[in-house]
Structure 1
Amino acid sequence: MLKSKKWLILLALVAVAALGMAACTPPEPELGSEENPVIISFVPSADADTVLASATAITDVLSEKTGLTIKAEVPTSYVASIEAMCNGEAHAGALNTFSYVVAHERGCADVALVSIRFGSPTYSGQIITRADSGITSLEDLKGKTFCRPDAFSTSGWIIPSIAMRAAGVDPDNDLAEVIDAGGHTGVVRAVYDGDCDAGATFVDARSNVAEELPDVNDVVVVIETSPPIPNDTISFHPDVPAEVRDAIVDAFLEMASNEEELAILEDLYSWAGLEKVDDSFYDGFRQMLEASGVDVTTFIEE
């Protein structure tokens, strides 16, 4: 009986000590404070340093408008952008369409805003080649080298892969080589220089290098254009408090309605505006993937 009482006393002391330690543990700093900044991940659709410079200019304005400390980060790939959202390294993300769909399927992202370009919340992709390549159709891509921006690029790989399969070209087996060119601009340059026989980008990524390569539209031609694709997003992790999310969304919309600040958005991803949407806006894209036999869950790493 005495031993039992001693054990009970010992357990009680341990419990009291544990409670005391828990009480002494400082609470996590509030999200948006200097100690716990809001991290927004921006996909590396172009050179990472260029994207980071533009993204930082945006988060500086967002910080000023919201009173929150907001920082930009540019992961090494589109997949890394998804992982940043899903492993807690980022609270929000400027995710391209396919990355958003995958991240949402994993429970890591809810869309808040869609980008507007040329007055539309949708865009198209294109498959390009040199005018002197002899390639005039998707069937001609068999045995050729193909440049893509990233394996998770919607217009630069996911949709072109669907189009190739529909034309009887297996992108996994029929292409001589698939090369990641480090962004849409990189694809255009690689095709222009002859480093790749063909490639895929958004319409019309050639304009990004028109100043550098004035004859790019003559040298690099389009052989295929995709159906409309929903534009890229501003998405938030579901755990982000509503007041933080709403403040950032409102600040983005203020930027889009201010001519001087809109220029900062345009400098990053050629955004000409932003609109509020919910996840259902991407259901048509999901249906297109499903009809083409693309299973989003196969892109999810547990």
Structure 2
Amino acid sequence: PSANTTELIAGGEAIAAKMTELTGYTIEVTVPTNYAALIEAMGSGNAQIGWLPTVPYIVAYEKGYATVGLVTLRSGADHYAFEFIVHQARVDDGTFTSFYDAATSANTADAATALAQFADKRPCYTDPLSSSGYLVPAGYLATSGISTKAGAWVQGHPTVVKSVYLSPKGEICDFGTVYVDARTAVTTDFPDVNDQVAIAFVSDPIIPNDTVSFVAGLDPTIRQNLVDALVEIASTDEGLQLLKDGGYSIGGLASVDDSFYDEYRVYLESIHFDINSYK
């Protein structure tokens, strides 16, 4: 969520109060130090409901701790895309080609054609547990048969953009992978970033949004009542404001089951992701 701990607790308690009103259940709000702690809390039975991003959810599911109930919606969509970026100087000198037309917001070539240029090049990635900053882009390349050099871990999407910006000759890396459009995050430091950093290709929306997950073994009736309450909250402007105040700027919630993540798992498997690496 995009809020600090104090805001999360205050906002979470307002959401909990509404859920209590709708279900009659007593809901206690806690904010773990990180998602790994939330996973373990669900595993030990100390947490029954968890707002988990995709990777922590996959880890919790594979450990047998949790199952998904809902996925967040943004602009009506339950998946989002990522993009490959390169320095404009590398486009100008013929090293790379931009296969993305900003005027039409569309790619001008298929993935196989666009991705081939990244073979044996060095990527900038955010961190090993970021969906759009590493896991899915790396899996996307791997499933397309593209082998790159070892990545530079630079931490954070804005830092990936800055690293590409500062690599007109590939000094830090040759290309980067970020959410769409991460360049907007660095315009204060680099006002000409849109001129210096080019979008080479944008994926289809293939990364699932965050989840609302429930502890494994939760009574099915209780689980369904909680799902129904959250869906009802997210169906009104007042409820969406409650969720926003709790750190979740979303447009709704939709019911899903674990098969929703099958395609995502293909990308994780292609890069040999180990759930035990999540800490």
Q: TM-score range by the shorter chain?
A: 0.5 to 0.7
Could you tell me how far 1:111 is from its partner in structure 2? 0.6
Task: Choose the corresponding residue for 1:175, options 141, 150, 159.
Answer: 150
SS for the counterpart of 1:71 is coil
In the alignment, is the contact (CA less than 8 A) between 2:83 and 2:200 conserved in 1? Answer: yes
Instruction: Choose 139-148 or 100-109, whichever is displaced more.
Output: 139-148
Pair 1:107 & 2:64 matched: yes
Hey, what's the Cα distance between the residues in 1 that align with 2:240 and 2:130? 25
SS for the counterpart of 2:9 is helix
Instruction: Choose 261-270 or 186-195, whichever is displaced more.
Output: 186-195
Matches within 5 A, 1:168-207: 168-170=146-148, 174-175=149-150, 177-181=152-156, 184=157, 187-188=160-161, 191=164, 197=173, 198-207=175-184
Pair 1:91 & 2:48 matched: yes
Hey, what's the Cα distance between the residues in 1 that align with 2:4 and 2:200? 29
In the alignment, is the contact (CA less than 8 A) between 2:86 and 2:198 conserved in 1? Answer: yes
SS for the counterpart of 1:224 is strand
Deviations 1:87-137 (A, max 9, x none): 445433222223322321211111110111221212112233443465736
Pair 1:70 & 2:65 matched: no
Unpaired runs of 5+ residues, structure 2, are 21-25, 98-114
Residues 200 and 276 (structure 1), Cα distance of their counterparts in 2 relative to 1, 3 Å cut: same
Hey, what's the Cα distance between the residues in 1 that align with 2:37 and 2:78? 25
Could you tell me how far 1:147 is from its partner in structure 2? 3.1
In the alignment, is the contact (CA less than 8 A) between 2:119 and 2:146 conserved in 1? Answer: no
Residues 188 and 284 (structure 1), Cα distance of their counterparts in 2 relative to 1, 3 Å cut: same
In the alignment, is the contact (CA less than 8 A) between 1:115 and 1:275 conserved in 2? Answer: yes
What is the match of residue 257 of structure 2? 278
Deviations 1:33-69 (A, max 9, x none): xxxxxxxxx6xxx6xxx35455335412222113334
Hey, what's the Cα distance between the residues in 2 that align with 1:119 and 1:218? 31
What is the match of residue 255 of structure 1? 233
Residues 243 and 216 (structure 1), Cα distance of their counterparts in 2 relative to 1, 3 Å cut: farther
Could you tell me how far 1:294 is from its partner in structure 2? 4.5
Deviations 1:72-95 (A, max 9, x none): 42544x555544433445433222
Hey, what's the Cα distance between the residues in 2 that align with 1:301 and 1:247? 34
Alignment: residue pair count: 245
What is the match of residue 275 of structure 2? 299
In the alignment, is the contact (CA less than 8 A) between 1:66 and 1:247 conserved in 2? Answer: no
Residues 179 and 209 (structure 1), Cα distance of their counterparts in 2 relative to 1, 3 Å cut: closer
In the alignment, is the contact (CA less than 8 A) between 1:112 and 1:236 conserved in 2? Answer: yes
- Whichever of the two has the greater Rg, that structure is 1
Residues 265 and 86 (structure 1), Cα distance of their counterparts in 2 relative to 1, 3 Å cut: same
The percentage of counterpart residues that share the same residue type is: 33
Residues 80 and 220 (structure 1), Cα distance of their counterparts in 2 relative to 1, 3 Å cut: farther
